[in-house]
Structure 1
Amino acid sequence: MWTLDELLDRVSAALTAEYSGAPNGRVRDVPDRRAVRWYATTGLVDRPSAMRGRTALYERRHLLQLVAVKRLQSEGRTLADVQAELAGADDPTLAAIARVPEELLTADDAVSPQQVRPRFWAEPVAAAAPRTQDQAVALNGVALGGGAVVLVPGTPTAADVADIAAAARPLLDLLAARGLLTNEREPS
């Protein structure tokens, strides 16, 4: 995996061979950081593979995508045409278009996967898996009225919500008496 700057260095090195640049002065010969982020936002290039703190990390496929985009642009194609051609392209197709030298595709100086923090928020929650004390659990809020919300694990049914609201009535009365609620409406 590479940081964005490392990726751009590889893109630049890959484009030094067989690359005449864009046919007009409106397109950069090599993408900059902002362009790569925009390409990822529009789906022209995959989003970063991982994050290390606030640093985005990229892989071989990103290199192939960026070089392929620039090679197609050098033929006078618009980004819309490039996006239409590369949409859903597999790695062998990208490699054929990009023609990146093999030595640039290896990750010899790259960040090792062990240095990457896991993206725990992107992982699906295991259904009914036993939890240890350190594991997080998804919580759902049950509105009690007056701005009070009680968080419960799992998904409560309508009957659960009604029972929770009834059981919370003494607490809501106390909070209201102390002026700690935003309004005095009955819980719904």
Structure 2
Amino acid sequence: MWTLDELLDRVSAALTAEYSGAPNGRVRDVPDRRAVRWYATTGLVDRPSAMRGRTALYEKRHLLQLVAVKRLQSEGRTLADIQLELTGATEATLTAIARVPAHLLDSGDAAPAPDVGGSASAAEGVRPRFWAAPAGAPTLAQPTLAQPTLAQPTLAQPTPAQPTPAQPAPSAADTPARAPALPSSAAVPALPPLLTGVPLPGGAVLLLPATPTEADRADIAAAAQPLLDLLAARGLLTERDQS
């Protein structure tokens, strides 16, 4: 795995050959740190594979995705078109588009070491991507601790109860008022659904509570054109999608 800076170095090396450059001045030849984070937000690139403390770690698929995006941009494709083509693409498809040299795909290490002087121990390593595990996958077994055996106390033989004089029954005035019963559990509010960002030209992003298909994205882009024209006329759009 690589840090973000190491990933960008490999992207730059992969694009050195077979890359004609950006078709216009608004597209960067090599993405910067801010562009990679924005690509991950909009779904063009997967989110980091793991975290080492506060450092995000990336791997082979991220390298293929970034190089594939820049190669398609060099052909004059928009980010919206590229997202429709690369969303859910297999590693074989990304490899064919990106054409990354084999030596750049080798991470060179089996697993990243923890931060020096950090609070994480070597046994912890890299935190697993629990969100990427298939449904129903077993989780790590927790160690079973031996339960201590407690010695049974020896009960003393009961002594005969001595008779006590009868006590008068308490009156209503002597009985304290009982506090009202509390509910057994408080109602937990439902969490809002996860939102999927659909990038539109000019830096606009449409948030949906469900994941649209490729056909949905194409129809959304066409239907949103009048709104984009209005936003552009009022100066409310940027060129951030062309980073």
Instruction: Determine the C-alpha separation between the residues in 1 that align with 2:49 and 2:128.
Output: 10
TM-score (norm 1): 0.64
Greater Cα radius of gyration, structure 1 or 2: 2
Alignment of 1:117 onto 2:126: yes
**Change over 3 Å in CA distance of 1:15–1:121 after alignment to 2:** closer
Instruction: Determine the C-alpha separation between the residues in 2 that align with 1:100 and 1:72.
Output: 14
> Counterpart of 2:148?
none
Deviations 1:9-63 (A, max 9, x none): 0000000011011110000000000000000010000000000011000000000
> Counterpart of 1:44?
44
Percent identical across equivalent pairs? 73
Instruction: Determine the C-alpha separation between the residues in 2 that align with 1:130 and 1:95.
Output: 39
Query: Contact 2:49/2:129 (CA < 8 Å) preserved in 1?
Result: no
**Change over 3 Å in CA distance of 1:9–1:111 after alignment to 2:** farther
**Aligned pairs (5 A) from 1:25-174:** 25-108=25-108, 110=109, 112-113=111-112, 115=114, 116-119=125-128, 162-163=183-184
Q: CA RMSD in A?
A: 2.9
Instruction: Determine the C-alpha separation between the residues in 1 that align with 2:129 and 2:70.
Output: 34
Query: Contact 1:2/1:111 (CA < 8 Å) preserved in 2?
Result: no
Structure 2 gaps of 5+ residues are 115-124, 146-181, 187-243
Deviations 1:78-120 (A, max 9, x none): 0001101101100010000000000000011x57246443258
**Change over 3 Å in CA distance of 1:119–1:66 after alignment to 2:** same
Instruction: Determine the C-alpha separation between the residues in 2 that align with 1:120 and 1:89.
Output: 20
Instruction: Determine the C-alpha separation between the residues in 1 that align with 2:128 and 2:7.
Output: 21
Which ranges of 4 or more aligned residues in structure 1 deviate by more than 6 Å? none
Q: Which has the higher strand share?
A: 1
**Change over 3 Å in CA distance of 1:131–1:81 after alignment to 2:** same
Query: Contact 2:50/2:129 (CA < 8 Å) preserved in 1?
Result: no
**CA shift at 1:164, angstroms?**
7.1
Instruction: Determine the C-alpha separation between the residues in 1 that align with 2:52 and 2:46.
Output: 17
Q: Which has the higher helix share?
A: 1
Instruction: Determine the C-alpha separation between the residues in 2 that align with 1:59 and 1:82.
Output: 21
Instruction: Determine the C-alpha separation between the residues in 2 that align with 1:27 and 1:119.
Output: 35
**Aligned pairs (5 A) from 1:6-25:** 6-25=6-25
**Change over 3 Å in CA distance of 1:162–1:81 after alignment to 2:** same
**Change over 3 Å in CA distance of 1:97–1:163 after alignment to 2:** closer
Instruction: Determine the C-alpha separation between the residues in 1 that align with 2:12 and 2:55.
Output: 20
Q: What letter matches 1:96 in structure 2?
A: A
